[in-house]
Amino acid sequence: MIFYIIALIVFMTQCFLMIFTYFNDKSKHKKSNNILKNNDQKFFYIILVPCLNEETVIQDTLKHLLKLNIDQHIIVIDDASTDKTIKMANEVSGPISILKRTLPDAQTGKGNALNSAIPMIKKIISESSYDNKHTIIGVMDADGVLSYNSGDELNQAFCDSTVDAVQLRVKMKAPKSILQTFQDIEFFVINHLTQLFRSNIDATALCGNGQFFRASSVFSKLGDHPWGNALLEDYELTLRMKLQGLKITYIGNAYVDQEALTSLKKLIIQRARWAQGGFNCWKYLKPVIKSKIMTDLQKDDVIMFFIFPALNLLSDFTIIYYTIKFFFLDDHDLLNGFIDLAFLSILGLLFGVLFTQLYVKELKNTEKKGVIIDHTDFLNKKLNIFKKIKAILLVSYMYVVLFGSLMISIIRLSKRNNSWVKTKRI
C-alpha cells in the first residue's frame, strides 16, 4: 500500500502544480505573444514528414502544410512503405522532396529515419538564401495538421535568439468515440498543463509531432545525427538538447491536429512502445545528474519522468492485489473495506471531473480565438451528461487499463526486443 500512497501523493502534487500554473499563466502568455510581433526577421522551414504506409493521410497533411504562410520545403521520408504513400505524395505539387529508404536500412526506428534526412536538409539550405540560424527544422507526423496561426507563432518564438527549439500544443482530430475523447483530454489538457508547468522551470519536452528547432543549434551541438535510437525518440532528443544547454519553449496558442487511435488494443500497443522508449532513456540518467549545464529543476523533472512509470507499476500491483484480496480473500471487516474502496474511487473521480471540465472549457476558449483547424474537432464542447460521465471514468481509471502497456514494455525489455512497433491506422 505504501507504493500506492506515494504514487497518489506525487500525482496529486503534480495535478496541483499544473492547475496552479494554468490559472496563473494566462496573462504571461498573452504578453509574451505580443513582445516580438514587430520583428522583421524571416525564417525558412524545412519540415520532415516520416512515413510508413501513410497513403490514407499523407496528401491531406501535405496540402495543409503548403497553405501555411511560411517559406518552406517539405521532405517526405518514406521508410520502405508497401502501399501507395510515395504515389500519393508525388501527386501533390509544391516544394516537396521525397527521400526513399529501402530495406534492410529502413524501418529501424523513427530516429534513424529522421537522421537520414540531414544530408538533404544541408543541401536544401545551401541552395536557399537563408543561413542555419534562420532555418527551422520541423517534424510532423504523417497525419498531422497545423493550425493556421502556427507560422506566426513559430516566427515570434524563434525571433528570440535564445530559443533553440519549440513544441506546439497537440490535439486529436474530430474525436468521435469515448476512447478518442479520452486521448483528446489527455493531449489537449493534461499534456498541455504539464507543458505549461515545465515551461515555467525551463523543462519543456518535445512531443514528437509539431516540434521545431533551429538548424544552427542542432548542427553545432548535436551534429549530423541528432536523434538517437530510443523508441521514445522525441524525449531522447529533449535530453540531448538539455545536456547541451539548448533552450526548448512551448507554444500553447497554436496546435497540431493528429488522428486518435480507434481501439483499446492499438492504444495499449502504442503506450507500450512509449513506456519502453522511456526505459530506453534511462541511460541518460547519470549524465543528467552529473550535468553542469542543466539546472536542478530540469534534473528533478527528468528524474520524475524516469521514476513515475516504475512507481505507477508498483502502485498498480498494489491496487490489483488489494482489490483481489478485498473481493475474494477477506471474509471480515467488510465495512472498512468498502469505506476505503469508496474513498479511493471518489478521489480518482475528482481528478477525472476536473480534467474533463477543463477540457470543455479549453475547447470553448480555443474556438473563441478563431484559430481552429476544423470545427468537428470541437464538437465535444457540448458533451452530453452520459458522454461526460464516460469521459470522467476513463480519465480517472485509464491508468489501470494501461497497466498492461507497462507489463508489455517490461517483457520486451527483458527479451532485449527493441524493434519499432508502429501502430496501424486502420
Q: What is the pLDDT of residues 197-221, one digit of tens each?
A: 999 999 999 987 999 999 999 999 9
Mean pLDDT of 149-162: 95
- What percent of the chain lies above the pLDDT cut of 90? 60
| Assigned C-alpha cell, 89 | 505524395
Residue type at 123 in one-letter notation: K
Radius of gyration over every alpha carbon of the chain, rounded to an integer in angstroms = 22
**Residue 247 vs residues 22, 162, 166: alpha-carbon distances, Å:** 22, 7, 9
User: Residue with C-alpha cell 534513424?
Assistant: 112
Model confidence at 30: pLDDT above 60: no
What is the pTM (predicted TM-score) of this model? 0.88
Q: Work out the pLDDT band at 11, boundaries 50, 70, 90.
A: low
Confidence class for position 170, pLDDT limits 50, 70, 90: very high
Report whether pLDDT(13) > 90. no
Query: CB within 8 A of 82, min separation 6: which ones?
Result: 53
pLDDT of res. 19? 76
Q: Average pLDDT, stretch 32-36?
A: 45
CA 355 to chain centre: 17
Q: Is the pLDDT of residue 331 over 60?
A: no
Whole-number pLDDT of residue 415: 87
Of the pLDDT bands very low, low, confident and very high (cuts 50, 70, 90), residue 28 is very low
User: Is residue 320 over pLDDT 70?
Assistant: no
Backbone dihedral angles phi then psi of residue 214, each to the nearest 5 degrees: -70, 130
pLDDT confidence bin for 352, thresholds 50/70/90: confident
Taking alpha carbons only, the member of 259, 256, 255 closest to residue 177 is 259
Q: Which range (86-90, 352-356, 394-398) has the least confidence?
A: 394-398
What pLDDT shows up at residue 35?
Answer: 44
Residue, of 327 and 136, whose pLDDT is higher: 136
Nearest to 412 by CA among 278, 314, 237: 278
Strand partners, 290: none
The residue-averaged pLDDT of 380-391 equals: 86
Superfamily for the 1-426 domain: Spore Coat Polysaccharide Biosynthesis Protein SpsA; Chain A (3.90.550.10)
With 60 as the cut, is the pLDDT of residue 239 above it?
Answer: yes
Cα–Cα distance, 149 to 207 (Å, whole number): 19
Q: The C-alpha cell of 90 is what?
A: 508525388
Helix (H, G, I), strand (E, B) or coil at 295: coil
